């Protein structure tokens, strides 16, 4: 039986926090600032799940004028008991955090280790050692039951880098391809820890098959979760300095944060907290959610054994683990949808997130603290992309030239079940048509700034 984890005093959570502290100490890296206490400029990227936020956040990572976290903040909130009550706890379990929920004192210091920006520089010596320490730390979050041995991980990291530099012409002090690196690394690590399942990562399956010989269970069904799959691929990272944390905008991207805006304002007590509301049409979002629920990833919450099984038609009856695993965010009231058809569950998640973001306290006193962008503009024609970027740059007060260059080369593809394309949702129009005609959804689309005609949604 897979255990259901509890709050900050859960023994496994406490053990993970202790192991992370040891790995960080062994890294020799300077202790970063407490982000919660030091931040002065925070931007919450709010969206629904499968609303394009992962791709958009990856685009924003290309700017040297912004700070980010390596992945979503959920694992650290979970470690500190701040990700909402767990299913079966006897209280109103959802992802929402309210003014009554405490702000853990140690959370900001923990987040400091994860705050910064990507870099392609990876020099032999201290850089590689700290990179290996960070990979070991991430493995601890991803496989919390695994006794990760840092020296073994460091040896495997060094071996993979040597091979890539010899056979793939990687520079001696650089890092070129996260998927190519991690596919090879996982293949080596599985010799020691066969529990590591390569399908839990956002890696092209062809690379997995080439470098991670089985056997492994297919499909992947996770055990106790700290980080939610698809797992983060660790890349070289420049941890933010105290000066950077105090001066640069810090971008937070986690869809479940739609229900935590006021709580984050309390976490970042000294910061100006703004809301970048990224919208996507009900058609595009529900279509993406539908694919994600049926995809071999995005598990987020396992129902305890004493709870009734999920009976979501289109998911529970076709997906392994579909009777126990709720995917993506848990809006308030999600329990009423455990027996609904999958398309209705997806629509519920979409409208709940955007209704919460529209009602969020940010921007009520100062409208300049809130900006709304349509994901469809970012995947649309070049002129639409440029207008959106110009609006974003002016709002953030940072140059966006490098972001335009990234768009010219094509949007980065991360955490996706399929490459974004215009009107992909139309492939499922028969299923979606009743949802598009629903007056509740049409009213919300209007509130989000969309034309009533679905043919304009992209």
Tens digit of each residue's pLDDT, the chain (458 residues): 233 444 555 789 999 999 999 999 999 999 999 999 999 999 999 999 999 999 889 889 988 999 999 999 999 999 998 875 544 443 348 999 988 889 999 999 999 999 999 999 999 999 999 999 999 999 999 999 999 999 999 999 999 999 999 999 999 999 999 999 999 999 999 999 999 999 999 999 999 999 998 888 888 899 899 999 999 999 999 999 999 999 999 999 999 999 999 999 999 999 999 999 999 999 999 999 999 999 988 999 998 888 889 999 999 999 999 999 999 999 999 999 999 999 999 999 999 999 999 999 998 889 999 999 999 988 888 888 889 989 999 999 988 887 877 777 666 655 555 555 566 777 888 889 999 999 999 999 999 999 988 888 86
Cβ atoms within 10 Å of 109's Cβ, excluding its own: 16
What is the structure's pLDDT at 413? Answer: 57
Dihedral of alpha carbons 424, 428, 430, 432, sign: negative
Q: 272-279 and 115-118: which strand pairing?
A: unpaired
Where exactly are the structural domains of the chain?
31-94+248-458
Is the Cβ–Cβ distance between 230 and 18 less than 8 Å?
no
What is the structure's pLDDT at 416? Answer: 52
What is the structure's pLDDT at 181? Answer: 98
- Name 69's bridge partners: 115
Residue 169 φ/ψ region, left for φ over 0, alpha for ψ in the -120 to 50 degree band, beta for the rest: left
pTM above 0.75, yes or no: yes
- CA dist., res. 218 & res. 209, Å (int): 13
Cβ atoms within 10 Å of 69's Cβ, excluding its own: 23
Element (H, E) at 156: helix 150-167
Q: 272-279 and 237-239: which strand pairing?
A: unpaired
Element (H, E) at 422: none
Among all chains, which residue has been given the structure tokens 């709720």? Answer: 326
Q: What is 31-94+248-458's CATH number, 3.30.2310, 1.10.490, 3.40.50, 2.160.20?
A: 3.40.50
For the chain, the C-alpha Rg in angstroms (whole number) is 21
What is the structure's pLDDT at 165? Answer: 96
């Amino acid at each position: 039986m897979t255990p259901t984890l509890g709050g900050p005093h859960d023994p496994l959570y406490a053990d993970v926090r202790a192991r992370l502290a040891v790995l960080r100490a062994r890294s020799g890296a300077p202790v970063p600032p407490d982000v919660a206490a030091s931040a002065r400029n925070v931007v919450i990227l709010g969206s629904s799940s499968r609303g394009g936020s992962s791709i958009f956040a990856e685009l924003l990572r290309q700017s040297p004028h912004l700070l980010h976290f390596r992945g979503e903040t959920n694992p650290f909130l979970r470690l500190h008991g701040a990700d909402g009550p767990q299913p079966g706890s006897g209280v109103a379990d959802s992802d929402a955090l309210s003014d009554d929920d405490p702000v853990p004192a140690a959370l900001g210091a923990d987040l400091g280790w994860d705050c910064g920006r990507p870099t392609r520089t990876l020099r032999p010596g201290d850089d590689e050692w700290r990179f290996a320490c960070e990979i070991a730390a991430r493995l601890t979050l991803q496989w919390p039951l695994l006794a990760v041995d840092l020296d073994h991980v460091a040896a495997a990291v060094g071996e993979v880098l040597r091979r890539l530099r010899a056979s793939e012409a990687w520079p001696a002090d650089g890092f070129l391809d996260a998927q190519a690196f991690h596919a090879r690394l996982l293949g080596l690590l599985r010799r020691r820890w066969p529990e590591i399942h390569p399908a839990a990562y956002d890696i092209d399956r062809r690379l997995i098959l080439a470098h991670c010989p089985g056997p492994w269970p297919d499909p992947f069904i996770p055990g106790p979760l700290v980080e939610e799959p698809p797992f983060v691929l660790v890349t070289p990272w420049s941890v933010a300095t105290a000066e950077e944390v105090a001066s640069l905008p810090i971008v937070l991207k986690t869809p479940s944060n739609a229900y935590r805006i006021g709580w984050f304002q309390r976490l970042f007590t000294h910061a100006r907290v703004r809301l970048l509301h990224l919208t996507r049409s009900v058609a595009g979002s529900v279509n993406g959610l539908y694919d994600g629920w049926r995809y071999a990833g995005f598990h987020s919450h396992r129902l305890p054994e004493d709870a009734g099984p999920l009976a979501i038609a289109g998911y529970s009856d076709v997906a392994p683990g579909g009777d126990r695993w709720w995917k993506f965010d848990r809006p308030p009231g999600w329990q009423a949808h455990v027996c609904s058809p999958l398309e209705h569950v997806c629509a519920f998640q979409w409208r709940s997130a955007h209704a919460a973001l529209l009602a969020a306290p940010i921007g009520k006193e100062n409208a300049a603290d809130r900006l709304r962008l349509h994901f469809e503009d970012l995947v649309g024609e070049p002129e639409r992309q440029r207008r959106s970027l110009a609006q974003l740059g002016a709002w953030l007060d940072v140059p966006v030239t490098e972001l335009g260059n990234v768009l010219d080369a094509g949007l980065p593809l991360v955490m996706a079940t399929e490459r974004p394309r215009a009107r992909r949702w139309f492939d499922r129009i028969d299923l979606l048509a009743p949802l598009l005609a629903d007056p509740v959804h049409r009213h919300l689309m209007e509130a989000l700034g969309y034309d009533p005609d679905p043919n304009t949604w992209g």
